[in-house]
């Protein structure tokens, strides 16, 4: 399968790319700075560009089966329009190039799932993460009405821990406290979702 990965230099994106190439996928990484790929560089096709640029994403998307996004703002708590702008570019690029499948990493607590959060989660989502979550909510909704075969992935707090291989994934999960899941497990879930039809037109919540 031919994957276009956005956010390939980030910690979740790196897990995803590594998993994909090890399982035989052909991976194109749209990156702002190819040096950020490090040891992955010789295993992927790196295309330099910006994920918020319709022209860059469209040029990179040609000939792919699926677009997978693990975009994020790193340590910043300000969205700076990343998710709204990138979602617009990605949807346009997918349509322009006949790529129907999109696996998009968002966050649990965004949009309608805020109401399902625990008290501890609500406090963080509505204060520290407010800007990111507002921008993600718009992007996620835009994707849901895009007409694409989308999956919007909603993990709880991310850790740098190893993949456990066992975690919960469902349209809705009960929340208590501030649960987490490793980026390695999130990447494995996204990779599996990209290869199968089970999660099309669904927004799975995933957590340990």
Tell me: does residue 191 bind ligand NAP (CB under 6 A).
no
Residue of 97, 107, 151, 203 that binds ligand NAP (CB under 6 A): 107
Cβ closest to ligand NAP, residue 40 vs residue 66: 40
Between the alpha carbon of residue 161 and those of residues 74, 84, 189, 206, the distances in Å are 17, 29, 15, 15
- The conformation of residue 178, written as its DSSP 8-state character, comes to -
Nearest to 5 by CA among 55, 47, 36: 47
Give the SS3 label for residue 42: helix
Residue of 60, 68, 105, 194 that binds ligand NAP (CB under 6 A): 105
Between the alpha carbon of residue 92 and those of residues 31, 68, 98, 148, the distances in Å are 18, 14, 10, 10
Residue of 3, 27, 40, 51 that binds ligand NAP (CB under 6 A): 51
Give the SS3 label for residue 175: coil
Residue of 50, 65, 141, 149 that binds ligand NAP (CB under 6 A): 50
Cβ closest to ligand NAP, residue 66 vs residue 132: 132
As a whole number of angstroms, the distance between CA 133 and CA 63 comes to: 32
Tell me how many residues contact ligand NAP (CB under 6 A).
27
Nearest to 121 by CA among 75, 74, 180, 79: 180
Which residues in the 123-182 window bind ligand NAP by CB under 6 A? 132, 155, 157-158
- Residue number closest to ligand NAP, CB atom: 72
Residues of this chain that bind ligand NAP (CB under 6 A)? 6-13, 32-33, 36, 50-52, 70-74, 82, 105, 107, 132, 155, 157-158, 183
């Amino acid at each position: 399968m031919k994957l276009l990965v956005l956010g390939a230099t980030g910690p979740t994106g790196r897990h995803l790319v590594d998993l994909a190439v090890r399982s035989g996928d052909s991976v194109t990484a749209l990156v702002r700075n190819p040096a950020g790929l490090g040891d992955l560089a010789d295993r992927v096709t790196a295309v330099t560009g910006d994920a918020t640029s319709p022209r860059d994403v469209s040029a990179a998307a040609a000939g792919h089966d699926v677009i997978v996004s693990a975009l994020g703002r790193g340590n910043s708590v300000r969205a700076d329009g990343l998710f709204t702008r990138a979602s617009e570019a990605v949807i346009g690029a997918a349509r322009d190039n006949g790529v129907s499948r999109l696996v998009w990493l968002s966050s649990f607590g965004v949009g309608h799932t805020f109401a399902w959060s625990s008290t501890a989660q609500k406090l963080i989502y509505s204060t520290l993460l407010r800007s990111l979550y507002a921008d993600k909510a718009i992007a996620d909704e835009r994707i849901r009405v895009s007409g694409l075969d989308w999956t919007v992935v909603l993990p709880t707090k991310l850790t740098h821990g190893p993949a456990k291989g066992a975690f919960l994934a469902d349209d809705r999960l009960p929340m208590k406290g501030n649960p987490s899941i490793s980026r390695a497990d999130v990447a494995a879930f996204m990779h599996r979702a990209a290869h199968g039809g089970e999660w099309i037109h669904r927004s799975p919540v995933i957590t340990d």
